[in-house]
Amino acid sequence: MGFPDLLSRSRNARQRLPLYEQGASPAPAKERLSDEEAFSSDDGDDDDEDNDNRSNDDDDDDDDDDYDDDDYDDKSARSPGISRQSSGSASATTMMLPKRVRGGATVSAFAAPLPRRRQHQQQQQQRHRHFRRPTTTIAAVRARVYRLPNKVVRCLCIAMMMTLFLFIGILVRASQVENFRIASGHFTKAVMPPAWESFGFLTRYYGGVRGLVSLSDNVPQYPREEDEQPYDESTASGGGGGAQAAPELHLHPAPVASVADADARAKAPLPPSTPFDKYPGSSGAAAAAVPCFLDAENTVSIPSIRYYEGRPTGFPLNAVGSYELLSLPEDICFERYGRYGPYGYGYSVRSGGLGVGGFGEDEGAKTVWDAADRIDYRNVDWADVQQRCYRANARRFKPAALRKAPINGFFIDDNDTTAHHVSRAVSTGDEPTEEAAPVSLLSSVSVSASAPHAGVTSEVPAATASHESLAVSSAPSSSSSSSHDARGDLPRTAVVVRCWDEFEWREDDILNMRSLIAELALASGARYDVHLLVQIKNDAKYPVWADDETYRSRIEATIPAEFRGLVTLWSETQMLSLYQGIHDLFTRGPGLPVHGVYRGLQMAMQYFAHNHPEYEHFWQWEMDIRYTGHHLDLFTKMENWAAEQPRKGLWERNARFYVPSVHGSWDDFQQMARVQTEVGLAGADNLWDKVPTRNKKASGAGGEAGAGRVGEETVWGPVRPADPNDWFESDNDPVPPTTYEKDRYVWGVGEQADLVTLNPLFDPEGTTWLLADDITGYNATAETLHGAPNGKPPRRAQIITASRMSRRLLRTMHLETALKKHHAFPEMWPATVALQHGYKAVYVPHPVYVDREWPLQYLARTLNGGRNGATGGSRTSVFGQREHNFQGFTWYYNAGFSPNVYRRWLGLKVNNDGGGAFEEQMDATKDDLSVSTMRGGEGRMCLPPMLLHPIKHVELPVESHRNKADDESATEADPGS
């Protein structure tokens, strides 16, 4: 029953008579002309509408019940002229309009009533029309929902069913394919997480200066007795043992200090610091050296860095390498202000500093400047500083080996002087003088910095004011007669720091470069010179070889002013023109050619040495290396130790990591390396050698069948390629004075090493190292006939190119590359040339730390997991697929621990740990059991001398220069790393 029907019905059973006549309607808009449309269509249309409305009859059963015959009996009959669809809102006095029939004829209100059945049909039609065309007088109506055609519905259902069947078929097929792969074994097993990830983190690296104890009183958190126990293979995961087996669980929590002890440390007074030049046994300039200064008046000198006695309580010991072996200081530590304060850390830019270091705990930071004023570094020219330092000490060194200018044509003013002393007018705009002569393009260009600042640098001498040095000597050879009068015998060393022109110099990089120059060049009395070897990434856009002005402007646009005079530019296309004809194996694809910076980096170093014969040795250094101690002390002691190493068993010792807690003393380690090499050691690479096979005859002592391999041949003298045509200047190679057995570890003692590396020199043959076969130019057929599996010559490699190379080694590398077309990957080429020519190469076991509690036996077996207890020579080598084990170390190319500990040492936050609040305040609610739950409050971190690599993108908070308040405000550092 519709809402209008309810309005038209009476509240009682009395019949209500219709009102046939009435006056004019006051609201004609509300009149309902429903009867006008009742018969507006023909009979056929009415039938169609009846058929259309039959589908809704079931929905209106309740309404149909209202139209039973009982409702139209005589007692309740209504007047035929009254419409059941009249608007209920119309006034009771509204006049009913006459009803129209077909043809437009009007039916009188007093006409005879229609038959009962016909009257009922009309009422049904009117009721259905009401739902299609609701009147405006009804507040809520039922809207007719659009119904999709049956054809469309059928198509949608079919498409849905087909999609469902297709999805089921795909699942069934995928299941069949997976079952087949599993049954046939053609599937990749899930990679198990590395074993070292299950070891607990060490926390006492992050102790502070308020918790210092002497080295003898320190109880290290690692290693401890539990870590030094023999490794139990029965607890190894997988039950397989071997180098990669690891304990299922290794938890030996170190004793944790009580809250009272931690609070006492936090409230302890800060101990005094001491200048490093007062440390007993530190390496410094010789007594005959003349002190070097920053200014020409010799009044401004850099104060020494400062250290603290002892170490933070519980500080772990180094797992690899040795302080005692190299005579490095291990009973002291350095915090950031004592280490970098002399180089502009901790004071504002307006005072000549870098504007960093004004955050975190800084008690005692100003002690660095107790005896000297803060240095204004804004106008320091480090090239000029090094030149003046050399001139003051030139008498101590060997006369510089001056190289004649290259033959580039006929010059009318060419003479003996210009052949030896070459300069180019740059940076000042002056024209070349009569003494100018052509020089090689790859030479050190001294580009003047800004005008000298009062009290720091003076006016540049006249000889260098018009001509910045491009000579082969780092000193201005054209103006100083002291270089001709030099009568000393000390060799000089160049420290070449690799960089590129698009490198983004940050404050931390500037601090590091300043410390290198001050601690090596100045503190040594000019025994070292620091250079910047900068690659031009896009020499098509910047044609530096075609125009001197472009050369100079590119340096000025990319290098800080204080370092511009140290720069030597090079490019990949330049190396391509110098070393033509090398057969490129494209080991890492066409995007990394052999002359590129990735695979041909050593070429630039070779040509640099070719243009600088005044140096006996060349340290190849990197921008992302940091040393928390004094650089001169490190370099000097590494070089001295390398010189004292005997040649007997040297290559075998070079191939192994030294783990003191496992290997014992260095003599024990030396004997162990010899026994493992000569006798052999069972491993994964030779496990089945003793099993007799059909094609394997008896071998070994006594011809016993299946004896297998019993060690390997030791290196004694040059190890040459199989084809004599691949030999180069072999007559000049060193020859052993006696046999290997007769030598008493005498040959080589006191001899300067041609190659000094900071990682072991391993044999890449058989390893999973991606670049093991990246060596070209040799006779592969001859090598195969000689027994080489891959047709490669004898070779060695060291990861990380940081190393010291002699001029003899670099000259041989240069000529072999240019003339014999021999070349290898930069991390393999120097060691390979040294091996083939019999040069002395030494791996220096410097101290390396780990961030987790490794079982020491397992650590030693992992690092020395190659053939016969070495690091290389087999697939079980740590170099290659197992390099992930170094991620928790302080020294490796992809180590993750070194950048974390360095940032924490600088007072920055790492993973939301550390920062200024951690250093200043102790949180007694924490338990000190993990890095994230350390209590803190011990002050600034204090680290012993250690090498860290890689250190990249260190963002130090820099002060704002807008007002004095900003200069004095502290900033909390959270760079996110």
pLDDT in tens, 404-445: 666 667 767 655 444 333 333 333 334 333 333 333 333 344
Is the pLDDT at 802 greater than 90, yes or no?
Answer: yes
Is the pLDDT at 920 greater than 50, yes or no?
Answer: yes
- The pLDDT, as a whole number, for residue 734 is 94
Q: In this predicted model, what pLDDT tens digit does every residue of 256-279 receive, in sequence order?
A: 566 666 666 667 778 899 999 999
421 and 471 Cβ atoms separated by less than 8 Å? yes
- The pLDDT, as a whole number, for residue 597 is 93
Amino acid identity at 595: H
Mean pLDDT of the 603-622 span = 96
Pairing of strands 823-824, 775-776: antiparallel
Mean pLDDT of the 350-374 span = 87
Amino acid identity at 113: P
- The pLDDT, as a whole number, for residue 122 is 73
Mean pLDDT of the 476-500 span = 69
- The pLDDT, as a whole number, for residue 230 is 56
Residues 6+ apart with CB under 8 A from 784: 791
Is the pLDDT at 92 greater than 80, yes or no?
Answer: no
- The pLDDT, as a whole number, for residue 396 is 93
- The pLDDT, as a whole number, for residue 285 is 73
- The pLDDT, as a whole number, for residue 437 is 35
Question: Cα separations (Å) of 137 from 9, 31, 140?
Answer: 17, 10, 9
- The pLDDT, as a whole number, for residue 269 is 76
Which pair of tokens denotes residue 936?
């803190």
Is the pLDDT at 86 greater than 80, yes or no?
Answer: no
Q: In this predicted model, what pLDDT tens digit does every residue of 524-547 receive, in sequence order?
A: 999 999 999 999 999 999 999 999
**Residue 18, Ramachandran bin (φ over 0: left; ψ between -120 and 50: alpha; else beta):** beta
Is the pLDDT at 629 greater than 60, yes or no?
Answer: yes
Query: pLDDT > 70: what percent of the chain?
Result: 68
Is the pLDDT at 752 greater than 80, yes or no?
Answer: yes
- The pLDDT, as a whole number, for residue 72 is 41
Mean pLDDT of the 100-109 span = 50
Q: In this predicted model, what pLDDT tens digit does every residue of 698-725 receive, in sequence order?
A: 444 444 443 445 678 899 999 999 999 9
- The pLDDT, as a whole number, for residue 286 is 76
Give 118's pLDDT tier (boundaries 50, 70, 90).
Answer: confident
Least confident of 195-204, 236-245, 482-491, 510-519: 236-245
Residues 6+ apart with CB under 8 A from 501: 534, 535, 536, 537, 542, 554, 558, 559, 569
- The pLDDT, as a whole number, for residue 369 is 87
Mean pLDDT of the 22-48 span = 45
Give 973's pLDDT tier (boundaries 50, 70, 90).
Answer: very low
- The pLDDT, as a whole number, for residue 111 is 54
- The pLDDT, as a whole number, for residue 971 is 42
Greater model confidence, 477 or 586 = 586
Q: In this predicted model, what pLDDT tens digit does every residue of 768-784 receive, in sequence order?
A: 999 999 999 999 999 99
Omega prior to 223 cis, within 30 of 0: yes
Which burial class, exposed, middle or buried, applies to 829 when counting CB atoms under 10 A from its CB (0-12, 13-18, 19+)? buried
Amino acid identity at 742: K
- The pLDDT, as a whole number, for residue 255 is 56
Q: In this predicted model, what pLDDT tens digit does every residue of 836-887 receive, in sequence order?
A: 999 999 999 999 999 999 999 999 999 999 999 999 999 999 999 999 999 9
Question: Cα separations (Å) of 715 from 129, 743, 796, 809?
Answer: 109, 13, 12, 18
Give 447's pLDDT tier (boundaries 50, 70, 90).
Answer: very low
- The pLDDT, as a whole number, for residue 182 is 85
863 and 874 Cβ atoms separated by less than 8 Å? no
- The pLDDT, as a whole number, for residue 184 is 86
Alpha helices (H) in 805-891, listed in sequence order: 807-815, 829-837, 856-863
Mean pLDDT of the 652-657 span = 97
Taking the CA atoms of 446, 451, 456 and 457 in sequence, report the sign of the dihedral they define. Answer: positive
Give the whole-angstrom CA distance, residue 758 versus residue 947: 10
Give 26's pLDDT tier (boundaries 50, 70, 90).
Answer: very low
Mean pLDDT of the 819-845 span = 96
Is the pLDDT at 290 greater than 70, yes or no?
Answer: yes
- The pLDDT, as a whole number, for residue 439 is 35
Least confident of 12-26, 373-387, 936-950: 12-26
Other Cβ atoms closer than 10 A to 406: 13
**Which SS3 state, helix, strand or coil, does residue 424 take?**
strand
Least confident of 674-678, 840-844, 899-903: 674-678
pLDDT averaged over every residue in the chain: 79
Is the pLDDT at 66 greater than 50, yes or no?
Answer: no
Q: In this predicted model, what pLDDT tens digit does every residue of 153-169 receive, in sequence order?
A: 999 999 999 999 999 99
- The pLDDT, as a whole number, for residue 423 is 35
Is the pLDDT at 325 greater than 80, yes or no?
Answer: yes
pTM higher than 0.85: no
Least confident of 390-404, 639-653, 715-729: 390-404
- The pLDDT, as a whole number, for residue 336 is 96
Which pair of tokens denotes residue 354?
């870098």
242 and 684 Cβ atoms separated by less than 8 Å? yes
Of 276-285, 456-465, 479-488, highest mean pLDDT: 276-285
Mean pLDDT of the 38-58 span = 46
Mean pLDDT of the 24-43 span = 44
Omega prior to 950 cis, within 30 of 0: yes
Task: Give the residue from 428, 431, 450, 220 showing the smallest Cα distance to 319.
Answer: 220
